[in-house]
């Protein structure tokens, strides 16, 4: 290991012998005869190690040590002191010297070892620092890129939230409550409900295969299409949106036309408030809607084909009259992950005991399933509750 | 600094005096009288530093040094050797000893300094390693989260690509070439073109304010709505999509109904192949479309209101007959960032010299603007070229 060493000593003889020895060891030597020129030589020469005699003519060796340490604490500094001045050597160590050697130097091997150890230690400190700087720079870069992407998805999430209907919206005796708990920033589950006219309410819950941004894109496509059918009804009297089976068939055709290689399950329903009549179609959605009719809870079990797989899929329409007091719960299949493992259909049965009260709240239902606590989710969870109070 | 030190020496007197000194210094001392028990004591006691005499009765001190170094290279190991055995000491250093001290130990201060330096160095090595491990763990965590988000956006990007029409699609004498260069994973610019019937082609370029996932969402909404108008034409004979001004007005109404607090500029056009008639509407899109009619290039400069700002915005329709040989270029305003800074309208003028050849290619146009080289972009860039060859 060849290094540039600054040797500060007022004794020309010692400087010469030290210098000769160090050069023999392969080091480059800068010499200074007093404190002030030593400090100057340090600034000019940027040595990697300093040997400093404590007995200097112009300033105290301890002052030189303190000045060098303040200037460059990571440059190893070895003081050389007379046998009688061990107290000074200890003072020097306290002020930042790394080691000390007593004069006269009988065994240059001791000096050599001290220099080697000091340079090794300085190397480790430098390595420490460089490594840390490198890793920190990498961290900063990663964190920066991550923040950009997070902000990007956060903005998209805000937009997705804007597409949702108000939570707790009431239509006459019916109140719609919704929860959307994405597994990532963006959700492939989606919920909507809207007045079709003064008498009827349309609603749906869609669950796009997968999750994250790509599935959220598809959810946006579904929402846009349904929104378009709604406006076609409101503005042009197109009746499609009033009929669940027709709506799902139309949606499936429109969606297949996009050629997206994605599919979704969906439950679309219409409630006629005057008749208290619920009609719905199920496009492969599971778990089935859960109805509590005041007496007990049961699934409205009707299978159907998902949206986006079969261009000419047909859908069935089911209708039932709703009692004065009832509660309809529709959930995406992410909810089933919270239930004890069983065959898929069997697992959904596990939801029934949690919907034992027609007056219970969605909040309470979620608490019983431990849904609030779940921080990390492997799938999106969407919940839509429709509540009729007599 | 108090440490657990293992002292291996067969001389009980030296062990005692060494032990007493080290305990006075505040260290905890484990003693062993030969190599084998020294190695055992090392395993059992997990010392932080080892002092090892080179002249042991049962195995050579050098073997002990090699064994300890192999077992735990980061534990400082100081050998103690007789004055006469400096050669052995050098051998020991080569096999992993950190330092050596000659016996008899006249000055225990030398031993103390050697121990202190060795422990400091071991501490630095440990600190190095811990710091590195900590930063690396942080890096891994960041990289993992980043990878998840990147995969998420990458999947959405793939989906967005699927929504684009094939590049280089031909309709009779007309060929459509497109480029979409997002500034992030996802683009708020979008391009589409499609046959309206055997005679007419519809096309548009939309530029949603902002960029990234949220703007891409909005682009998907626009694309879905236009797709719906197209199918309404194909299936139900709805003529909206045939008329640029009507299409933009309908799109604006439908888009405003979503209440997204976003807006977009868009140019929608229809080409009648039999008549070689181009009709278009401009919803705030800038730069204006550039037409090279075989003689020279000019802007088709007609302003209009962006989509999503004014619910009842009206749009104008402009028509012109296309010559046998012509070239129409539509670009999003991200392209203007590549031109020398000037007032916005003036800057667009800078595009004209690059469209000086009616037979030029989009590739060539991009090269002249240095568009291929641009790796990092502050805005999305979309380019649509419609080429008529006689």
DSSP secondary structure letters along A239-257 = -GGG-HHHHHHHHHHHHHH
Provide the number of CB pairs (under 8 Å) joining chain A to chain B: 157
Q: Note whether A153 contacts B156, CB cutoff 8 Å.
A: no
Cis amide bond preceding A104, omega within 30 = yes
Residues of A in contact with B139 (CB under 8 A): 135, 138-139, 142
What's residue B55's pLDDT? Answer: 86
Residues of A in contact with B85 (CB under 8 A): none
Residues of A in contact with B213 (CB under 8 A): 152-153, 155-156, 186, 213
> What are the residue ranges of CATH 3.60.40.10 in chain B?
164-388
Q: Mean pLDDT, to the nearest integer, of A257-274? A: 94
Residue A340 — pLDDT band, cuts 50, 70, 90?
confident
* Residues contacting B368, CB < 8 A, separation 6+: B354
Contact yes or no for B268/B281 (Cβ under 8 A): yes
> What are the residue ranges of CATH 3.60.40.10 in chain A?
165-388
Residues in chain B where the model's pLDDT stays below 50 = none
Main-chain phi, psi angles of B215, to 5 degrees:
-70, -35
Q: Which of A131, A159, A212 sits opposite B217 (nearest CB)?
A: A159
What's residue A199's pLDDT? Answer: 95
> What are the residue ranges of CATH 3.40.50.2300 in chain B?
4-129
* Residues contacting B124, CB < 8 A, separation 6+: A121, A124, A125, A128
What's residue B191's pLDDT? Answer: 97
**How many whole angstroms separate alpha carbon B225 and alpha carbon B244?**
14
- Is the pLDDT score of A358 beyond 90? no
Q: In terms of Cα–Cα distance, which of A219, A210, A365, A366 is closest to A292?
A: A365
Alpha-carbon Rg for chain A in angstroms: 40
A24-38, A94-108, A196-210, A332-346, range with the lowest pLDDT: A332-346
Q: In terms of Cα–Cα distance, which of B33, B85, B77 is closest to B59?
A: B33
Report ipTM (2 d.p.).
0.77
For residue B118, what is the nearest residue in chain A, using CA coordinates?
Answer: A117
For residue A217, what is the nearest residue in chain B, using CA coordinates?
Answer: B217
Q: Note whether B159 contacts A210, CB cutoff 8 Å.
A: no
What's residue B81's pLDDT? Answer: 82
Q: Note whether A227 contacts B156, CB cutoff 8 Å.
A: no
- What is the arrangement of strands in the sheet containing A264-272, beginning at the earlier edge strand? A189-195, A200-208, A264-272, A277-283, A318-321
**How many whole angstroms separate alpha carbon A236 and alpha carbon B229?**
14
What proportions of chain B, in percent to the nearest 5, are helix, strand and coil?
A: 45, 25, 35
Hey, CA dihedral for B121, B122, B128, B134, is it positive or negative? negative
Residues of B in contact with A113 (CB under 8 A): 99
* Residues contacting B130, CB < 8 A, separation 6+: none
**How many whole angstroms separate alpha carbon A174 and alpha carbon A143?**
47
Q: Which CATH class is domain A4-129?
A: alpha beta
Q: How many CA atoms lie within 13 A of A122 on its CB side?
A: 22
A5-19, A107-121, A342-356, range with the lowest pLDDT: A342-356
Q: Note whether A210 contacts B145, CB cutoff 8 Å.
A: no
CATH topology of domain A165-388: Phosphatase 2c; domain 1 (3.60.40)
**How many whole angstroms separate alpha carbon B199 and alpha carbon B168?**
19
CATH topology of domain B164-388: Phosphatase 2c; domain 1 (3.60.40)
- What is the arrangement of strands in the sheet containing B297-299, beginning at the earlier edge strand? B169-171, B174-181, B381-388, B326-331, B290-292, B297-299
Hey, CA dihedral for A132, A135, A139, A140, is it positive or negative? positive
Output the average pLDDT for chain B.
91
- Is the pLDDT score of A83 beyond 70? no
Q: Mean pLDDT, to the nearest integer, of A137-159? A: 91
Q: Which of B99, B135, B155 sits opposite A136 (nearest CB)?
A: B135
Residues of A in contact with B254 (CB under 8 A): 227-228, 231
Residue A209 — pLDDT band, cuts 50, 70, 90?
very high
DSSP B332: -
Q: Which of A139, A145, A224 sits opposite B135 (nearest CB)?
A: A139
Terminal-to-terminal C-alpha distance of chain A: 91
What are the distances in angstroms from CA B296 to CA B176, B319, B387? Answer: 20, 19, 14
B interface test, pick of A142, A233, A251 with most B CB neighbours within 10 Å:
A142
Q: Note whether B216 contacts A128, CB cutoff 8 Å.
A: no
Residue A243 C-alpha, separation from nearest chain B C-alpha, in angstroms: 18
What's residue B170's pLDDT? Answer: 96
- Is the pLDDT score of A36 beyond 70? yes
Hey, CA dihedral for A224, A225, A230, A231, is it positive or negative? positive
Output the average pLDDT for chain A.
91
């Amino acid at each position: 290991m060849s290094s540039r060493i600054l040797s500060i000593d007022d004794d020309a003889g010692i400087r010469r012998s030290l210098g000769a020895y160090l050069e023999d060891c392969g080091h480059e030597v800068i010499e200074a005869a007093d404190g002030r020129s030593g400090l100057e030589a340090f600034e000019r020469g940027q040595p990697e190690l300093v040997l400093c005699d404590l007995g200097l003519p112009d300033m105290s060796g301890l002052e030189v040590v303190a000045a060098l340490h303040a200037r460059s604490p990571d440059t190893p500094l070895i003081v050389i002191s007379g046998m009688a001045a061990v107290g000074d050597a200890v003072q020097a160590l306290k002020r930042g010297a790394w080691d000390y050697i007593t004069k006269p130097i009988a065994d240059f091997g001791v000096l050599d070892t001290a220099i080697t150890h000091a340079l090794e230690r300085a190397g480790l400190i430098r390595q420490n620092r460089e490594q840390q700087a490198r890793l920190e720079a990498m961290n900063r870069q990663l964190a920066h890129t991550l923040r950009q992407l997070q902000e990007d998805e956060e903005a998209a999430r805000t937009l997705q939230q804007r597409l949702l209907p108000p939570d707790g919206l009431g239509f006459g005796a019916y109140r719609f409550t919704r929860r959307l708990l994405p597994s990532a920033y963006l959700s492939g589950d989606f919920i909507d409900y809207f007045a079709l006219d003064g008498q009827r309410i349309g609603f749906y819950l869609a669950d796009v295969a997968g999750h994250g941004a790509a599935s959220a894109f598809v959810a946006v496509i579904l929402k846009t299409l349904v929104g378009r059918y709604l406006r076609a009804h409101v503005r042009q009297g197109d009746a499609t949106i009033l009929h669940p089976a027709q709506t799902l068939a139309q949606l499936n055709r429109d969606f297949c036309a996009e050629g997206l290689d994605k599919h979704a399950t969906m439950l679309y329903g219409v409630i006629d408030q005057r008749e208290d009549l619920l009609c719905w179609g199920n496009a492969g959605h599971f778990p089935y809607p859960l109805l509590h009719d005041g007496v007990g809870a049961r699934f409205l079990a009707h299978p159907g084909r998902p949206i986006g797989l079969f261009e000419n899929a047909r859908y069935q329409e089911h209708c039932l009259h709703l009692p004065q007091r009832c509660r309809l719960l529709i959930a995406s299949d992410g909810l089933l992950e919270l239930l004890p493992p069983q065959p898929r259909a069997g697992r959904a049965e596990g939801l029934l005991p949690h919907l034992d009260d027609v007056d219970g709240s969605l909040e309470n239902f979620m608490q019983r399933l431990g849904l609030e606590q779940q921080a990390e989710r492997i799938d999106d969870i969407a919940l839509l509750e429709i509540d009729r109070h007599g």
